[in-house]
Amino acid sequence: MTAIKRVDAWNCRVPLDVPVRFKWGTITHRDYAVVRIQTSDGLEGHGLAISRGAPIDVAAIDMIAPLIIGMEAEDVGAIQTEILRRTASGDRHGILANARSLVDIALWDIRGRAMESPIWRLLGGNRQDAGVLLVEGYELPNESDEEFAARLAKRAADGYPALKLEAAGYDDYRILQRRLELIRQLAGPEVQLIVDVNGAWTSVREAAEAINTFATVDLAWVEDPFPRHQLHDIGKLRGLVQTPLAAGDDITDPRALYRLIQEEMVDVLRVDATTLGGIGPTADVIGFARQHGVAVSGHAYPSVHQHFTFAWPDMPWVEAFADELPFEPSHKLLTHSPYSRVVNGRVSAPEAPGLGTELRMDAIERFSVRHGAVGGDNKLARP
């Protein structure tokens, strides 16, 4: 029997070796919520995601963990139903959805371990190498336009089929335009270039002006032009530009993604299992997109989203950050990352059961600023 015995959740603050600048401020660290679930027969699984300061770990411990202690860990659907039923009087989205997502991912990790299978095989299985969409285009200190472009062009020469540039740090989008043109000159026409605005634009006019300027570079897509509460503006923007648009990052209500598809507002749907409710709800959204002929791209967290890529060929790339660069250090909390398996810009399917990685508990404890637990021998255990 794989009954849930204990749930732990941490808030971890990991410093960045190099601060990342956005229009609204400079990031000096990344905050992560980490959930670990342990069962009565010794299995454990985990889920991890950027929290951006939100108390996702607290919601997991105070609102979800007491509901699931003693339930059969492999009955993931039943647990989702129970959580939704017992929290129906509150807001199912936002922070609670983030917490529910990490619990669900941890349970799928356990399910895979119990069945001695990687999650991608449980989802259907489509073993083949996948290209890596490398998030490389953050600025490094004192880097000239030419040095920036050469760094990204080198990644293209190394075999990466797609490169993403961060656009939220530019006060003048024409600087980014120059860099895009330099990259295209150095890397050639084959590499796919993607611009992530991270919700930094606030008006349709501003967005259309910038995107139409980028059109000479032949971008694969521009993603998240507006904050997620301005989804209605994406449809307006799509009628003003020729460049494909993508959206969906950080949305916690799957119905919003269904709307993006049904109203034909996006060319590429961005999905994130750490916000949408977990593996199952994300699989539902991807299936809906596939039925409507809309391309799908996973948002970061390659240890999770690689499993969708290796389950279905419709999601061809695995998005990842390079471990050796200072932009996204979640790999420091894990024993290894999918990036360690990258060869010539491609990554192979993991064979280890579940997610295929383990928490580094020494790092979790070192970076932890808050920890809560329910169940087991912990005094917070509740009936």
For residue 322, give every residue at least 6 positions away whose Cβ sits within 8 Å of its Cβ, in sequence order, or none: 134, 136, 339
Instruction: Count CA atoms within 13 Å of residue 235 on its CB side.
Output: 11
pLDDT at 383: 32
pLDDT at 23: 63
C-alpha–C-alpha distance, residues 124 and 57, integer Å: 31
pLDDT at 24: 67
C-alpha–C-alpha distance, residues 60 and 293, integer Å: 35
Tokens of 294: 């809309």
Tokens of 172: 């003048």
pLDDT at 380: 47
Q: Which amino acid is at 230?
A: Q
Tokens of 214: 């980028």
The angle that helices 145-157 and 173-187 make with each other, rounded to 10 degrees, is 40
Tokens of 184: 């295209």
pTM of the full predicted structure?
0.95
For residue 318, give every residue at least 6 positions away whose Cβ sits within 8 Å of its Cβ, in sequence order, or none: 130, 131, 132, 133, 298, 302, 305, 306, 309, 338, 347
pLDDT at 315: 85
Are 29 and 100 in contact by the 8 Å Cβ rule? The answer is no
C-alpha–C-alpha distance, residues 308 and 286, integer Å: 9
3-class secondary structure per residue, 277-334: CCHHHHHHHHHHHHHCCCEEEECCCHHHHHHHHCCCCCCCEEEECCCCCCCCCHHHHE
pLDDT at 378: 58
Are 346 and 159 in contact by the 8 Å Cβ rule? The answer is yes
Are 279 and 271 in contact by the 8 Å Cβ rule? The answer is no
Per-residue pLDDT of the chain (383 residues; tens, 9 = 90+): 689 999 999 999 999 988 877 766 788 999 999 999 999 999 999 999 999 999 999 999 999 999 999 999 999 999 999 999 999 887 778 999 999 999 999 999 999 999 999 999 999 988 789 999 999 998 888 899 999 999 999 999 999 999 999 998 888 999 999 999 999 999 999 999 999 999 999 899 999 999 999 999 999 999 999 998 898 899 999 999 999 999 999 899 999 999 999 999 999 999 999 999 999 999 999 999 999 999 999 999 999 999 999 998 778 899 999 999 989 999 999 998 999 999 999 999 999 999 999 999 999 999 999 999 999 865 443 33
CA 280 vs. chain centroid, Å, equals: 15
pLDDT at 1: 61
Domains 4-117+361-375 and 120-347 share a fold: no
Q: Which CATH superfamily is domain 4-117+361-375 in?
A: Enolase-like, N-terminal domain (3.30.390.10)
Write down the domain spans for the chain: 4-117+361-375, 120-347
C-alpha–C-alpha distance, residues 161 and 157, integer Å: 9
Are 334 and 303 in contact by the 8 Å Cβ rule? The answer is yes
pLDDT at 314: 78
Work out the number of other CB atoms within 10 angstroms of the CB of residue 62: 15
Are 5 and 39 in contact by the 8 Å Cβ rule? The answer is yes
Beta bridge partners of 34: 10, 48
Number of residues that make up the chain: 383
Pick the CATH number of 120-347 from 3.40.50.150, 3.40.50.300, 1.10.3720.10, 3.20.20.120: 3.20.20.120
Cα–Cα nearest to 185, from 211, 146, 220: 146
pLDDT at 46: 98
